[in-house]
A and B are shown apart, each in its own frame.
Chain A
Amino acid sequence: DSGVTQTPKHLITATGQRVTLRCSPRSGDLSVYWYQQSLDQGLQFLIHYYNGEERAKGNILERFSAQQFPDLHSELNLSSLELGDSALYFCASSSQRTGAIQYFGAGTRLSVL
């Protein structure tokens, strides 16, 4: 158990809909990262939040957004969903005391039908 909690485990929705994925980082970790894993694109970094502030953006679509709340949990919002958004979405957390090691949650499997 990595200590990173992601909910829900599975999500099935339709094209055009909006969903929210939730991540609770390990206790004390200030950094949260979001990744997308798909057959086409492999594992891709989406966005990094540190203590509530956005720190880095990767290949995140404009239809996607994220935020980190004062209790350090983070949410990834995906809107106007397309079939190609079907993927496994991972959240990871890290802290300076762990030497930048990112610990991953179990992921949320999103299926867009």
Chain B
Amino acid sequence: AQTVTQSQPEMSVQEAETVTLSCTYDTSENNYYLFWYKQPPSRQMILVIRQEAYKQQNATENRFSVNFQKAAKSFSLKISDSQLGDTAMYFCAFMAYSGGGADGLTFGKGTHLIIQP
């Protein structure tokens, strides 16, 4: 079974600062994906970024980038030039992908990110 650990229950930064959210995972699978999802107060789950484990290059999406360290089983999210709208719960998630089809996502407990004006 997979486990996902987010060690920072809450973080607070000033607007325009850069912030890094940590995530580690444990798995014996070889083929998998890693995700960061954002859940604002509306409770909607919104995909932030995705990383395929077989790709060495770190994924980036505008102000969001990841630092994927496969050997260390680490998958951190960096948010640059943070904005008030980035305030939300952020969940790190793991999904194994076997030949028979994809399993569900395994989520960490989340990090509550607060962007201060």
Contact with B along A58-87 (1 / 0, CB 8 A): 100000000000000000000000000000
- Provided the pairs A48-B102, A56-B101 are in contact, do residues A42 and B95 lie with their beta carbons within 8 angstroms? no
Q: Are B101 and A48 touching (Cβ within 8 A)?
A: yes
- Provided the pairs A55-B100, A90-B45, A106-B43 are in contact, do residues A45 and B50 lie with their beta carbons within 8 angstroms? no
Q: Are B110 and A99 touching (Cβ within 8 A)?
A: no
- Give the residues in chain B near A35, CB-CB below 8 Å: 104-105
| Contact of B109 (CB < 8 Å), options: A42, A50, A55, A107 | A42
| Size of B's binding interface in residues, CB under 8 A | 23
Query: Does B47 sit at the interface, judged by CB under 8 A?
Result: yes
Query: Does A31 sit at the interface, judged by CB under 8 A?
Result: yes
* Residues of A36-59 contacting chain B, CB below 8 A: 42-48, 50, 55-56, 58
The chain A residue sitting closest to B101, CB to CB, is A55
Query: Does B17 sit at the interface, judged by CB under 8 A?
Result: no
A42-B110, A56-B101 known; 9 new pairs, CB 8 Å cut-off, are A33-B105, A35-B105, A47-B104, A48-B101, A48-B104, A56-B103, A101-B47, A106-B43, A107-B45
Contact sample, A vs B, 12 pairs, CB 8 Å cutoff: A35-B105, A42-B107, A42-B110, A45-B104, A45-B105, A48-B101, A50-B101, A56-B102, A58-B104, A99-B33, A100-B33, A101-B47
